[in-house]
Amino acid sequence: MWVFLLASAALIVVPGPNMVYILTRGAAHGREAGLVSALGVETGTLVHIGLAVGGAATVLAASPTAFAVLRWTGVAYLAYLGVRALLSRAPTTGGAAPPASMWQMFRDGLLVNVLNPKVALFFLAFLPQFADTTGRLLVLGAAFFTLALAADLCYALVGAALGGRPGRHSRWPGTVYLTLAGYMALMP
């Protein structure tokens, strides 16, 4: 169990689409937006756990094509978020960018996580090594969820604190999302 928890913590703190999404939302739209985004991301973790318990993760692991579709859908979604942010009519200096609805931030967080190949790989390749029964899978999934939620709530608060810096440019979230899309596209 300790090996699983340490590996989970390592996965959670390594920067990836989920962390950057939450930090960016918190910085661009404030604490509440960051927290709602974190809840959306971790709802996506519950989807991954449900897929693992239901056996869908096994199907995805057995099909390179299905995994490629997941990966490229994630790339496309991050690119969409980036373009949407760049084309928004947000002010370029001072004040917070106009917020999207809380539902939209929650939904975007959910999709960023569900389409995140790093998290999918964790639930496909790593988690099954520690879980030989559905009950154990649920316990380990709950442990991962708890660690990830705690970290993501912290990232939301850090993002909100960073967002208060004067002179920030409201278009930078779009650049961040597009950079992440590019990174995911280049992953082996």
Q: Give me the residue label for tokens 């979230």.
A: 173
In a domain, 100, yes or no: yes
Of 56-60, 69-73, 165-169, the poorest mean pLDDT is in 165-169
Residue 132 has pLDDT above 50, yes or no: yes
Q: Any long-range contacts for 58-63 (C-beta under 8 Å, 24+ apart)?
A: 60/120, 60/124, 61/124, 61/125
In a domain, 8, yes or no: no
Instruction: Note whether 116 and 74 are within 8 A (CB).
Output: yes
Instruction: Note whether 45 and 112 are within 8 A (CB).
Output: no
pLDDT of amino acid 127: 81
> What is the DSSP code (8-state) at residue 128?
G
pLDDT of amino acid 123: 82
Domain of 73 in residue numbering reads as 17-186
In a domain, 67, yes or no: yes
Encoded tokens for 142: 């709950």
pLDDT of amino acid 178: 82
In a domain, 10, yes or no: no
In a domain, 93, yes or no: yes
Tally of domains in the chain: 1
In a domain, 4, yes or no: no
pTM value > 0.85:
no
Helices 172-186 and 17-29, packing angle to 10 deg: 180
Residue 60 has pLDDT above 90, yes or no: no
Residue 71 has pLDDT above 90, yes or no: no
In a domain, 26, yes or no: yes
In a domain, 11, yes or no: no
